[in-house]
A and B are shown apart, each in its own frame.
Chain A
Amino acid sequence: MARNYFELFELPARFNIDLKELAARHRERIRVWHPDRYAQGSSEERRRAVAVSADLNDGLKVLRDPVSRARHLLALRGISTDEDTDTSMDAGFLMEQMAWRERLEEGVARPEEVAALIALVAQSRDAKESELARLLDSGQTTDLDRARELVRELQFLERFTRELDCAVTEAL
């Protein structure tokens, strides 16, 4: 069974969470569990402090990012997103990706074109995240396949966003 990071922070297992609350709970817990608090402790205590603190830091990282949070929620419901092994994607999505990549290749030297693409991708990400929130927080388990697909697509968009960031940096 996958580690449940929502339990770790005593937060409801939902896609829409309060990030400030998450940060506050992480801090509250790390204050108690950090290895510095156990510098005089037994080796077992120190080992445990390292393990729990690492877990808290890892949990914060997983829950802070919307895509990894959604992936975690799906894993908790027994659905793996298999990004590494399963490369099949919706044909329409792939066509759109291909078109965007072509636009980037052709427009890489023009900042306004890159900016337009960034806006477009951000819009697409927002829409997908809203849809994910609806699917994951509805309390029903009907369309988790769609949620899985959205996570996989968002992963793509994340990578593309990084490439766009690089294009912006290079242009400077």
Chain B
Amino acid sequence: MALLQISEPGQSPDPHTRKFVAGIDLGTTNSLIATVREREVVVLPDGAGDVLLPSVVRFEANGRVTVGRAAQQAEIEDPLNTIASVKRLMGRGRTDVGDCPYRLAGGAEGMVRIETAAGAKTPVEVSAQILAALKARLEETLGGPLSAAVITVPAYFDEAQRQATKDAARLAGIEVLRLLNEPTAAAVAYGLDRNPEGLYCVYDLGGGTFDVSLLRLSEGVFEVLATGGDAALGGDDMDAAIVTLWTARGAQARTPEESRRLLRAARAARERLSLETEVAVDVAPIYTGALSRTDLEAAIDPLIDRTLVACGRVLKDAGVRIADIGEIVLVGGATRTPRVRERVGGLFRKTPLHDIDPDRVVAVGAARQADLLAGNAGAADMLLLDVIPLSLGIEIMGGLTEKIIPRNSPIPASRAQDFTTYKDGQGALAIHVVQGERDLVAECRSLARFELRGIPPMVAGAARIRVTFQVDADGLLNVSAQETKAGVESHVTVRPSFGLSDAEIERMLRDSMASAEADAAARTLREQQVEADRMIEAVGAALAADEDLLAPGERDTIAARIAALKEARGGEDPQRIREQIAALDRASAPFAARRMDVGLERAMKGRSVTEFR
């Protein structure tokens, strides 16, 4: 239990030895740092009075690194060495990243690297520069060292992205008290401020990520009921949609610089349209024209639609009706757009709350949680119970996923599952850990592969291999495996393997309802193939076992059907496989009937349920 630090009456702790804890919102567009002083949260400004630190880092050839507004000003003149929105690259491999305004490097494995004048930088290093700048801000302002921090991440961040964030903090010399989900942090900020008990829905649309979480606050416990979202959807996409519109109207960007200028103009226009109904756009000579609110709404409505679908799914996951929700909380700069407020309000039939600055609310909640975790006297007495955003599973036969810990399970979580060997004398077992909602392993994110070796020789099915998954309070996974009969143990710390492209991840993260159709088709094919294999093997075994029950010529007929099924099984058409299964079934039916007559009782009793599917 954390010890409360209580000063002797009349003595305050020595300011020079006092350690500070903070909440850090490491955002796609802007980052902030906040701390609790005298029980009040203070969001710390820089020397110029700005609390928002633009999440932009510039690397120059002479080794100089600039962070924030100064770096942002160099964006146009030095676009390849000035890195913005790096959060989108966190925990991603080279093949994960599609269009990107930088020169990327990195092979099939490991995290993507950005080529700069100062050498190749990983997104972790770039993020570490932002964190270091915030740390320096706090230490200069408060005159003491930052000892530890709560850092926020999108609720929908996967294992690799969470680990990358933690690594960035370590690089910046910040001890991470906890990785806290951004919507949860926002709910804490609102909940502690006002304390109405009930259900909160947090809609968080940032620069690069979208999260929606449903929380219940009762008796000082914040319980996340369900979370969802899209790790690659945000204000940046709105800007890109505006640029697409301008391109259709004749704008043409020829260089990275020009693209950057167009995107900046799009963001500026979008922000101004929050107050005005039409703005003039002058990005001469690339594009000159106007953008109306109607234009903007048409461009961004498809993106908002995607967020609303995700909201619907979260409600369904939690088994909550729209009418039950007490408050809608808006978070993230992109929720300033009136169209977003209007449509979110329309879905929930309620005016969303946005009276805590949507840019600051996450940092405020994180600072509260840091204060609590540090065991500071007077910290609010509350407890956060969060969930894992994406299901964790392992690969089973046929390239299918078996879910071990389903999404929205409360964390910490652990789950043990027993497996057995497939062949006689099998000495090792390979385990492939994946994350995602899809049925096929190939469409989930590969997290890690590891092997359990030294299983003593046993007949197939005799070994008992217990695999334990444990997810800690940061949402990070630990897997271990043990053969329970011989006690062979294998441990693995999951180091992600970054196998998917951005498009694939987007697909994986999108509403699984939308993708259910394609999933179902692939699954059907796989099932038919498995069924075909089972059938071929079963009939082959029957032929070998009860040869004497065959009628004249029957063997040849059945053999021909087996060959035809094998051929169909090699193809991609589930319907054809199904037909050939049926044909083999018909051809072998009389033979099977004779066999059944011989062993009716046994055959009935042992009849597998799968035959009834």
Enumerate chain A interface residues (CB-CB to B < 8 A).
27, 30-31, 34-41, 50-51, 53-55, 57-58, 60-61, 85, 87-89, 91, 94, 97-98, 101, 156, 169
Contact = CB atoms under 8 A, between A and B. Distances in A.
Interface in B390-411: 409-411
B178 A58 contact: no
25 contacts: A35-B412, A36-B372, A38-B1, A39-B373, A40-B374, A41-B2, A50-B412, A50-B472, A51-B470, A54-B412, A54-B414, A54-B470, A57-B410, A57-B412, A57-B413, A58-B414, A60-B410, A85-B461, A87-B610, A88-B606, A89-B609, A91-B605, A97-B609, A98-B612, A101-B612
Given A51-B470, A87-B609, A97-B609, 5 more contacts: A30-B383, A30-B385, A40-B374, A53-B412, A87-B610
A87 B613 CA distance: 13
A40 B612 contact: no
B374 A39 contact: yes
B373 A50 contact: no
Contacts of A91: 604-605, 607
Interface string B275-295: 000000000000000000000
A154 to B, nearest CB: 14
B473 A41 contact: no
A42 B3 CA distance: 12
B1 A36 contact: no
Contacts of B103: none
Contact of B2 (A38, A50, A98): A38
B1 A41 contact: yes
Contact size class for B?
35 or more
Interface of B: 1-3, 177-178, 221, 372-375, 383-385, 409-415, 461, 470-473, 513, 604-610, 612-613
Contacts of A31: 221, 383
Nearest to B148: A39
A42 to B, nearest CB: 11
B178 A39 contact: yes
Contact of A94 (B375, B412, B470, B607): B607
B480 to A, nearest CB: 12
B178 A36 contact: yes
A8 to B, nearest CB: 13
Q: Which 5 A-B pairs have the closest CB atoms?
A: A54-B414, A39-B373, A54-B412, A35-B473, A40-B2
B373 A88 contact: no
Contact of A87 (B372, B375, B608): B608
A4 B470 CA distance: 19
A30 B607 CA distance: 46
A30 B411 CA distance: 11
A166 B428 CA distance: 39
A153 to B, nearest CB: 11
Contact of B409 (A27, A39, A57): A57
A53 B461 CA distance: 33
B612 A94 contact: yes
B196 to A, nearest CB: 19
B435 to A, nearest CB: 18
Nearest to A31: B383
Nearest to A95: B612
Contacts of B415: 58
Nearest to A152: B609
Contact of A88 (B372, B412, B605): B605
A155 to B, nearest CB: 11
A38 B410 CA distance: 18
Residue among B414, B470, B473, B605 facing the most chain A CB atoms (10 A cut-off): B473
Given A50-B473, A54-B470, A87-B609, A39 B383 contact: no
Contacts of A101: 612-613
A38 B383 CA distance: 12
A121 to B, nearest CB: 16
A36 B607 CA distance: 51
Contacts of B384: 36
Contacts of A51: 412, 414, 470
Contacts of A39: 2, 177-178, 373-375
A36 to B, nearest CB: 6
Given A30-B383, A94-B609, A37 B412 contact: no
Contacts of A50: 412, 470, 472-473
Nearest to A27: B221
Nearest to B470: A54
A50 B477 CA distance: 12
A60 B222 CA distance: 17
Nearest to B2: A40
Nearest to B611: A94
Contacts of A41: 1-2
A58 B415 CA distance: 7
A60 to B, nearest CB: 8
B326 to A, nearest CB: 20
Nearest to B415: A58
A19 B413 CA distance: 20
A88 to B, nearest CB: 6
Contacts of A57: 409-413
Contacts of B409: 57, 61
B612 A97 contact: yes
A39 B4 CA distance: 12
A58 B383 contact: no
Contacts of A36: 178, 372-373, 383-384, 473
B514 to A, nearest CB: 12
A54 B471 contact: yes
